[in-house]
Amino acid sequence: MATLDSRTISRMMMAPAVFLLLVWMLVPLTMTFYFSFKKFLPLRGGDLGWVGFENYIRFVTSSSFWPSVQATLAIVGGVLLITVFFAILLALLLDQPMWGQGIVRILVIAPFFVMPTVSALVWKNMFMDPVNGLFAHLWKFFGLAPFEWLSQASLLSVTMIVSWQWLPFATLILLTAIQSLDREQLEAAEIDGASTLARFYHIILPHLGQAITIVILIQTIFLLSIFAEIFVTTQGSFGTKTLTYLIFQRVLESQNVGLGSAGGVYAIILANIVAIFLMRIVGKNLDK
Amino acid sequence: MGHIVLEKVKKKFGDVTVIPPLDLEVEDGEFVVFVGPSGCGKSTLLRLIAGLEDVSSGVIRINGQDATSVPPAKRGLAMVFQSYALYPHMTVRKNISFPLRMAKMDKAEQERRVEQAAAVLNLTDYLDRRPGQLSGGQRQRVAIGRAIVREPAAFLFDEPLSNLDAALRVGMRLEISGLHKRLETTMIYVTHDQVEAMTMADKIVVLHDGKIEQVGSPLELYRAPCNLFVAGFIGSPKMNFIDGEKAEEFNAHTIGIRSEHLVPSPTEGLWKGQVGLSEHLGSDTFLHVHMEKHAEPITVRSGGEVDIHHGDTIYLTPDKGHIYRFDDHGLRVD
Ligand SMILES: Nc1ncnc2c1ncn2[C@@H]1O[C@H](COP(=O)(O)OP(=O)(O)OP(=O)(O)O)[C@@H](O)[C@H]1O
Ligand SMILES: [Mg+2]
């Protein structure tokens, strides 16, 4: 009986937090739905009444819609691939006993503390600038014409910048996961005749499965809504206009709240499709 | 074939010498037990033999060949760890066949060996489970199965039973002994439990601070311990040590006498004392007898149903043939 009582009490104690979360989520969501069915132009007449599904139709039929979905998926996919791959390598490396381990680990984590806007600006002006950037100097050193990163390989550049920011997070999670691996398992595998590569494939990688899943899920949630990096580098030009950026343009640049809200609803749908897709592929790792 | 020789093998971790130069020979087919108190270097010695640690100096020969710098996989030895070290994401079948898969053995042969090992170890019903779904004893058997299928030159066990409960431990002890009889493969077994050592070993190696104190069969060590350490370590309960006047009567610095070689009597005997605690085990009773000028009580074995109580005066007579005499360096003198 005690457990039944304490369960009721614990539910009551949790109620305010749950309520707050619900309100927090439901109010913006309801407002987005509300505006998406209206013609609402703040500087050109304000609320101009209900329009049904017109905003939804206009948003998808716009020539920027599919490219923006593609750009979003390309950036998310690219960043996930790059961060997971390099995070595994870095975690393996940082797990080795070495001199100055503590400092190296802090250095690796450092990019995570830099604000997205700042890091994007640093990349844009210090590395990728075709005149003054470090890359331009490097290219010139080898006698090549400087590469115009942000206009000629804009999607790749944005992916690189975002990957740089998220690599520490992925590395940190995978490093702690590697450190929790029982050394005797590796030793047993070594005695059992597994080569270094086989030990990685049969022991370390399965052990990391769960952590990799978590990294992918968390990063996807945040990456679907990246904005600052695009805002300060390409402003959405050269094929880097993501869904989030498109919505921003519709609401603030064209001052069309209704259209933007319809885009917001599409963004929710996209996020859910991606989430379901991910859960199918990697989610089963979490059951273990 | 599993003939292992250590010549002047030494191991240092940084500046600390854990194993001073040490010589040891393990004959083919022998069951050798390394025993000693915690931290004396048993695991380190086993890991040196397995190749998981590099020797600081010295030579390890396996079947006559210098194996000092041969990687662990090529030494042909199999090891069973205290934590079992099973691969948690693989089924029991995959765990057991892992070394065979690594050796790229033919599939049908793999299958045959796994089935055979599973039959020997009573694991047939569990082959498709994961280690997490097994009991401690079953996990232990999977770890042994993984070692058996490789048909190694020798098995190395590092305290394989210390995570099991007492009843299971007795059972597994018999199973491992039975396995040794059947396979006739060299086994090196590490434990800090002298009962395991006494019951399983052909040859016991007593280690103390990385040094070998004595090597011999269980009964040799019981009958003729060469120093105080071995005398105190082998045998249960621990041997009683007496020094001072009573020892001088026997021309020794210290004398040792086992509890089973003391005859208690309520009326007459050589030494007089008072009964303190008594441990009733049913078949035997161990009396703790306090004697004047001795801080440590003397343990005496008497029959299961004796009529002796706390505080009673008691006389003890040692069996003259079983008194061990030690000099002031702790070495036994005959
Ligand atoms: N990697 C290491 N680095 C430094 N010292 C170590 C290392 N491994 C073991 N030692 C030291 O070597 C000594 C022997 O350790 P070992 O593990 O061989 O003891 P053991 O006899 O197996 O003890 P136990 O019965 O507790 O398992 C200990 O003093 C330990 O602190
Ligand atoms: Mg040990």
pLDDT score for A64 = 82
Domains, chain B: 4-232 (3.40.50.300), 240-333 (2.40.50.140)
Q: Which residues of A touch B87 (CB under 8 A)?
A: 185, 188-189, 202-203, 206
User: CA B181, B186, B189, B193 torsion: positive or negative?
Assistant: positive
Is the Cβ atom of B13 under 6 angstroms away from ligand 1? Answer: yes
Amino acid at B177: S
Contact status of B54 with chain A (Cβ, < 8 Å): no
B43 close to ligand 1 (CB < 6 Angstrom): yes
> How many Å apart are CA B93 and CA B124, to the nearest integer?
9
Q: Is B99 on the interface with A (CB under 8 A)?
A: yes
Q: Where are the domains of chain A?
A: 85-208
The pLDDT mean for chain B works out to 90
Which chain B residues contact residue A195 at CB under 8 A? Answer: 102
pLDDT score of B49 more than 90: yes
| Homologous superfamily of the A85-208 domain (CATH) | MetI-like (1.10.3720.10)
Helix (H) / strand (E) containing B156: strand B154-158
B48 touches chain A (CB under 8 A): no
Work out the average pLDDT over A35-59.
81
Residue identifier of the C-alpha nearest atom 6 of ligand 1 = B13
Q: Is the pLDDT of residue A122 over 80?
A: yes
**B121 is written with which tokens?**
């170890």
> Of residues A47 and B38, which shows the higher confidence score?
B38
Residue A79: pLDDT over 70: yes
What confidence score (pLDDT) does residue A5 get?
Answer: 78
The band of A283, judged by pLDDT with boundaries at 50, 70 and 90, is: low
Note the pLDDT of residue A288. Answer: 52
Kindly determine whether residue B83 and residue A182, on different chains, have CB atoms separated by under 8 Å: yes
Cβ A79 vs Cβ A249: under 8 Å: no
Q: Which pLDDT score, from 0 to 100, does residue B205 have?
A: 94
pTM comes to 0.80
User: The tokens of A166 are what?
Assistant: 């998220």
- Nearest CA owner, ligand 1 atom 29: B39
* Phi, psi dihedrals of residue B286, rounded to the nearest 5°: -105, 120
User: pLDDT band at residue B12, thresholds of 50, 70 and 90?
Assistant: very high
Q: Per-residue pLDDT for A151 more than 80? A: no
Residues 6+ apart with CB under 8 A from A4: none
The rounded mean pLDDT for chain A is 85
Q: What pLDDT is attached to residue A170?
A: 93
Evaluate if residue A284 carries a pLDDT over 80: no
Best of B42, B55, B213, B233 for a ligand 1 pocket test (most atoms within 8 Å of beta carbon): B42
Question: Is the preceding omega at residue B237 within 30 degrees of 0, hence cis?
Answer: yes
Contact assessment for residue B51 and residue B39, using Cβ atoms and an 8 Å cutoff: no
ipTM (interface pTM): 0.83
Classify the phi-psi angles of B105: left when phi > 0, otherwise alpha if psi is within -120 to 50, otherwise beta: beta
Averaged pLDDT for residues B129-145: 90
Contact residues for A258 (Cβ-Cβ < 8 A; gap 6+): A35, A36, A37, A38, A39, A40, A41, A51, A55
Q: Position B262: which residue type? A: L
> Is the minimum CB–CB distance between A253 and chain B shorter than 8 Å?
no
Q: Is B192's C-beta closer than 6 angstroms to any atom of ligand 1?
A: yes
How many angstroms separate the CA of residue B179 from the nearest CA in chain A?
20
* Overall average pLDDT of the A231-237 stretch: 81
User: Residue B171 is which amino acid?
Assistant: G
Q: What is the pLDDT of residues B139-196, one digit of tens each?
A: 988 999 999 998 899 999 999 888 888 888 888 889 899 989 988 999 999 998 888 8
Work out the pLDDT band at B98, boundaries 50, 70, 90.
very high
Cβ atoms of A49 and A38 within 8 Å: the answer is yes
CB atoms within 10 A of CB A157: 25
* pLDDT reading at A178 higher than 70: yes
A29: pLDDT strictly greater than 80: yes
Helix (H, G, I), strand (E, B) or coil at A59: helix
How much is the average pLDDT of A57-71?
85
A236: pLDDT confidence band, cut at 50, 70 and 90? confident
**Which pLDDT belongs to residue B180?**
92
